[in-house]
Amino acid sequence: MNFLRTLISTLVFALAAAASGSETPGVSPDKAMDALKAGHARYLSGRMVHPHQDQAQRSQTVAKGQHPFVTFISCADSRVPVETLFDQGIGDVFVVRVAGNVAGTDEIGTVEYGGGHDHGATGMYVVVDQDLWREHPEDETDDQRIGLFLQYGYANPAVSLVGHHIGAGLIWTEATPTRDDDQMGLGVSWVQFTDSPGAELSGHEWVVEVYYRIRVSKWLSVKPDIQYVADPGGAGGPADAMTFTLQVVADFWLSSERTPMHASP
Calpha distance 92→6 (Å, rounded): 20
Q: What is the pLDDT of residue 243?
A: 95
Domains, in order of start, for the chain: 1-122 (no CATH), 125-265 (2.40.160.180)
Would you give the distance in Å from CA 203 to the centre of its chain? 24
Half-sphere exposure of 75 (CA within 13 A, CB side): 11
Q: Are strands 162-173 and 145-154 parallel, antiparallel or unpaired?
A: antiparallel
d(CA 100, CA 76): 8
Question: What's the pLDDT score for residue 212?
Answer: 96
HEC readout, 126-178: EEEEEEEEECCCCCCCCCCEEEEEEEEEECCCCCCCEEEEEEEEEEEECCECC
Instruction: Say what the pLDDT of residue 247 is.
Output: 92
The model carries a pTM of 0.54
The DSSP letter of residue 265 is -
Residue 222, helix vs strand vs coil = strand
| Cross-strand bridge partners of residue 192 | 164, 204
Q: Residue 108: helix, strand or coil by DSSP?
A: helix
For position 199, what pLDDT does the model report?
A: 62
pLDDT at residue 150, rounded to an integer: 93
Amino acid identity at 237: G
Residue 37 · residue 14 · CB < 8 Å: no
Q: Which is nearest to 225 in space by CA: 198, 191, 265, 192?
A: 265
* pLDDT score at 112: 67
Which of these, 72, 63, 62, 118, lies nearest to 93 by C-alpha position? 72
Per-block mean pLDDT, blocks of 10 residues, the chain (265 long): 40 39 54 88 91 87 80 83 91 85 72 57 76 87 89 78 90 88 95 74 91 92 95 83 93 53 42
Task: Give the bridge partners for 30, in sequence order.
Answer: none
The CA distance from 104 to 189, in Å, is 28
